[in-house]
């Protein structure tokens, strides 16, 4: 099938992790979520992660703070969770309100509990190709999709649009690693890139992580390319119960006839991010108990 069923792949990973946690004697793996404010998307993301953790047999803990929380209070909670041996993974739901220093909060998490992979040490481990660390969940999820769908990156020209640490930059680093799951030739594009279309049309694998609804149009895609759409954008749609619908960064209707494989939105990369978070949490548990 042309469309990649990320939901199914994520569900397979959830089943594998459920079997693994079922075999654990004694306390199960535990993940602590820190959420600040009531941003609807953040509330919904944390709820989804919480639900998946429960399904797998990972104990979720939720710490929800008011928007006005101080950096000191946030830091104190991170320190407390770092010191708590029963907590294996800590996730701070991004974005934090602008008065808080998000990267400093990520860097305060014990790197061995940093299941989101945003700590400077874990980002550095990706650069050093050290698999002991935790890889940011969305880029790791794209690599997992490629592996499970038999999409080889070896020798391919991978073009990534977007250079955030959370997605674009980290995926670019993973795709260029020296290893059987990678070995790609990588080009990274961003808002200052000139002649974007000329570059994207050279891509064997095109990864869009931009945050602009349906920006990648059919004429930007080479015939037979693999298209990975990371974008999750809410656009108004009065016909929907919630008043909006989710679309990716790729115009799916235009891209689908041209691409050899494509991830839809929703149901493509999104579910993989949560599955990889759970995989990292079980890995953290195993590392802390070995």
- Inter-residue contact 233 to 248 (CB < 8 Å): yes
- Rule CB under 6 A: is residue 228 a binding residue for ligand NDP? no
**Rounded Cα distance, 132 and 112, in Å:** 9
Taking residues 182 to 201 in sequence order and writing x for each that binds ligand NDP by CB under 6 A, - otherwise, the string is: -------xxxxx--x-----
- Rule CB under 6 A: is residue 231 a binding residue for ligand NDP? yes
**At its nearest, how many Å lie between ligand NDP and the CB of residue 271?**
8
Candidates 52, 59, 251, 273: give the one binding ligand NDP (CB under 6 A): 273
Q: Which stretch binds ligand NDP (CB under 6 A): 24-32, 60-68, 69-77, 204-212?
A: 204-212
**At its nearest, how many Å lie between ligand NDP and the CB of residue 118?**
11
- Rule CB under 6 A: is residue 262 a binding residue for ligand NDP? no
For ligand NDP, the closer of residues 114 and 249 by Cβ is: 249
93 annotated active-site: yes
Q: Which stretch binds ligand NDP (CB under 6 A): 59-67, 124-132, 145-153, 205-213?
A: 205-213
Number of residues that bind ligand NDP (CB under 6 A): 26
**At its nearest, how many Å lie between ligand NDP and the CB of residue 144?**
13
- Inter-residue contact 159 to 130 (CB < 8 Å): no
Strands 233-236 and 89-92 turn out to be unpaired
Burial of 97 (0-12, 13-18, 19+ CB in 10 A): middle
The active-site residue out of 110, 113, 114, 116 is 116
**Rounded Cα distance, 276 and 137, in Å:** 5
Is the torsion defined by CA of 259, 261, 265, 270 positive or negative?
negative
Residue in the block written with tokens 């945003």: 118
- Rule CB under 6 A: is residue 162 a binding residue for ligand NDP? yes
Question: Rounded to 5 degrees, what are φ and ψ at 190?
Answer: -155, -170
Task: Give me 75's structure tokens.
Answer: 């830091």
For ligand NDP, the closer of residues 109 and 228 by Cβ is: 228
Task: Give me 70's structure tokens.
Answer: 């101080």
Burial of 212 (0-12, 13-18, 19+ CB in 10 A): middle
Q: Which stretch binds ligand NDP (CB under 6 A): 23-31, 107-115, 116-124, 265-273?
A: 265-273
- Inter-residue contact 115 to 288 (CB < 8 Å): no
- Rule CB under 6 A: is residue 111 a binding residue for ligand NDP? no
- Rule CB under 6 A: is residue 166 a binding residue for ligand NDP? yes
- Which H or E run includes 64? strand 59-65
Residues that bind ligand NDP (CB under 6 A): 138, 161-164, 166-168, 189-193, 196, 209-212, 230-233, 249, 269-270, 273
Q: Which residues carry out catalysis?
A: 49, 93, 116
């Amino acid at each position: 099938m042309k469309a990649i069923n990320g939901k199914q792949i994520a569900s397979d990973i959830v089943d594998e992790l459920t079997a693994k946690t079922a075999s654990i004697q004694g306390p199960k793996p535990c993940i602590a979520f820190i959420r600040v404010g009531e941003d609807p998307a953040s509330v919904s993301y944390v709820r989804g992660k919480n639900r998946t953790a429960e399904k797998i047999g990972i104990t979720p803990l939720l710490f929800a703070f008011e928007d006005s929380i101080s950096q000191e209070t946030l830091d104190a909670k991170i320190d407390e969770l770092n010191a708590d041996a029963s907590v294996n993974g800590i996730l701070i739901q991004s974005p934090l309100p602008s008065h808080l220093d998000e990267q400093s909060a990520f860097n305060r998490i014990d790197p061995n509990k940093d299941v989101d992979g945003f700590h400077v040490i874990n980002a550095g481990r990706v650069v050093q190709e050290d698999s002991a660390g935790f890889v940011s969940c969305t880029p790791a999820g794209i690599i997992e999709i490629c592996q499970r769908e038999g999409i080889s990156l070896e020798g391919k020209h991978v073009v990534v649009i977007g250079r955030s640490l959370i997605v674009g930059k980290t995926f670019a680093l993973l795709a260029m690693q020296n290893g059987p799951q990678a070995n790609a030739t990588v080009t990274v594009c961003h808002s200052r890139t000139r002649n974007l279309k000329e570059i994207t049309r050279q891509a064997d694998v095109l990864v869009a992580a931009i945050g602009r609804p349906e920006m990648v149009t059919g004429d930007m895609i080479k015939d037979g390319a693999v298209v990975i759409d990371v974008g999750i954008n809410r656009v108004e749609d009065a016909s929907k119960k919630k008043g909006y619908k989710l679309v990716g960064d790729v115009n799916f209707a235009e891209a689908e006839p041209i691409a050899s494989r494509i991830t839809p939105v929703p149901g493509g990369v999104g579910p993989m991010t949560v599955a990889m978070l759970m995989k990292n949490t079980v890995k953290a548990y195993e590392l802390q108990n070995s």
